[in-house]
Homo-oligomer: A and B are copies of this chain.
């Protein structure tokens, strides 16, 4: 593919920042400090990687003001090199364009309203009464349920399922294999067997949400499951029925969120963490990877609960004592009493 080359001068005209060095330097693509070569611009967003500047073969670099003099490579100096890089990369690497229209192999239900500006790919099934907005791309093999609505400029990668009656906003991205609107895990125990509880709520997904590959979001049991705007969900996350995730929260891969948990805005949750059901988590909370949150968190802060790993022998020794902490504690108490009594005898 032929790429257009842009002068650093053109780039700062568009995105701000200042050029230091040759403003005529042309770049076509982004790269890492380590691997970027001719025609590529790298970035330094973390002082930890400053030593990589030295050997870099990049044609140009994006830097913070603090690092402006750390190299002689032609450079763009700006306030936030990481977001500068993000914007520039989005400009250099626009999402692939999909021509509007419905692929002849797609199956469209009665009464579906598909914008003439939408793209419906091969082997897609769209349910009855579904609504698909302008600029939205539904790629191969997706299945959209009856009466579900997708907003505008939303993109579903191949093989996404959205069940019936869900509402997905604008500028949403859903990756391959994700399932939205499946039944929540609800049943009643009666006479020695399970009775299924119909899951009649919906899933509501706000604007600018991104949902990772093979992530699952269950529909509400009675009320709705809600993902607010600008939430970012990585791959293989499980969101149970009636969960609410606040705006701008980011959740890493493999996290499980149990039913009716309410997660605040601006939270960050590490990979493989878990949130038990019916809990509330305040705005701005950060949860470490592999941590199970077993009760509500009322205060902003960082929370962790990870068993520290070690070589297996060391672990075996410590783990063996773990069950006996109660006994250990009682023995310390007893020792303290005996010391007190020995000291008493002295007096």
CB within 8 Å of B: which residues of A? 29-32, 35, 80, 82-83, 85-87, 89-90, 92-93, 96, 103, 105, 107, 121-123, 125, 139-141, 143, 146, 157-159, 161, 163-164, 173, 175-177, 179, 182-183, 185, 187-190, 192-198, 200, 208, 210, 212-214, 216, 218, 222-223, 230, 232, 234-236, 238, 240, 248, 250, 252-254, 256, 258, 271-272, 274, 276, 287-294, 301-312, 314-326, 328-329, 331-332, 335-336, 338-339, 342-343, 345-346
Interface CB pairs A-B, < 8 A, 17: A30-B222, A31-B222, A90-B197, A176-B179, A179-B213, A187-B250, A193-B230, A194-B232, A194-B248, A252-B258, A254-B256, A301-B311, A302-B312, A303-B309, A318-B323, A335-B339, A338-B343
Return A87 CB to nearest CB of chain B, in Å.
7
What are the residues of chain B within 8 A of A96 when measuring CB–CB? 146, 164
Q: How many Å lie between the Cα of A328 and that of B336 in the bound state?
A: 12
Cβ-defined contact, B332 with A248, below 8 A: no
Q: Which chain B residues lie closer than 8 Å to A290 at the CB level? A: 274, 292
In the complex, the answer to whether B309 meets A318 with C-beta atoms within 8 Å is no
User: B161 touching A176 by the CB < 8 A rule?
Assistant: yes
Complexed CA–CA distance, A210 and B252 (Å): 25
Q: Which of A32, A90, A179, A317 has the most CB of B within 10 A?
A: A179
Q: Which residues of B contact A306 (CB under 8 A)?
A: 292, 294, 305, 307, 315, 319
In the A-B complex, the 6 residue pairs with the closest CB atoms:
A305-B309, A143-B158, A125-B140, A182-B213, A83-B190, A161-B176
**Docked-complex contact A194 and B161, CB < 8 angstroms:** no
Query: For the complex formed by this chain, how many copies does it contain in all?
Result: 3
Query: B residues within 8 A CB of A335?
Result: 332, 335-336, 339
CB–CB B342/A332 < 8 A: no
Query: Are B223 and A212 in contact, CB atoms less than 8 angstroms apart?
Result: no
Q: Decide if A89 touches B198 in the complex (CB within 8 Å).
A: yes
Question: A143 and B143 in contact (CB under 8 A), knowing A288-B312, A305-B315, A310-B303?
Answer: no
A311: chain B residues within 8 A (beta carbon)? 301-304
Q: Check A317/B312 contact, CB under 8 A, given A177-B177, A179-B177, A342-B343.
A: no
Looking across the interface, which residue of chain B has its beta carbon closest to that of A192? B248
A200 to chain B: which residues have CB within 8 Å? 29-30, 89, 93
A188 to B78 alpha-carbon distance, docked (Å): 15
Shortest distance in angstroms between A216's beta carbon and chain B's nearest beta carbon?
A: 4
The contact of A197 among B89, B122, B256, by CB within 8 Å, is B89
Which residues of B lie under 8 Å from residue A252 when comparing CB positions? Answer: 185, 258
Which B-chain residue is minimally distant from A318 (CB atoms)? B325
Closest-CB distance, A150 to chain B (whole angstroms): 16
A343 to chain B, nearest CB (A): 7
A330 to chain B, nearest CB (A): 10
Tell me whether B214 and A214 are in contact (CB under 8 A). yes
Known contacts A176-B161, A307-B305, A323-B318; decide if A213 and B222 are in contact (CB<8 Å): no
CA distance A282 to B213 in the complex (A): 29
Residue on B nearest A36 in the bound complex, by CB: B222
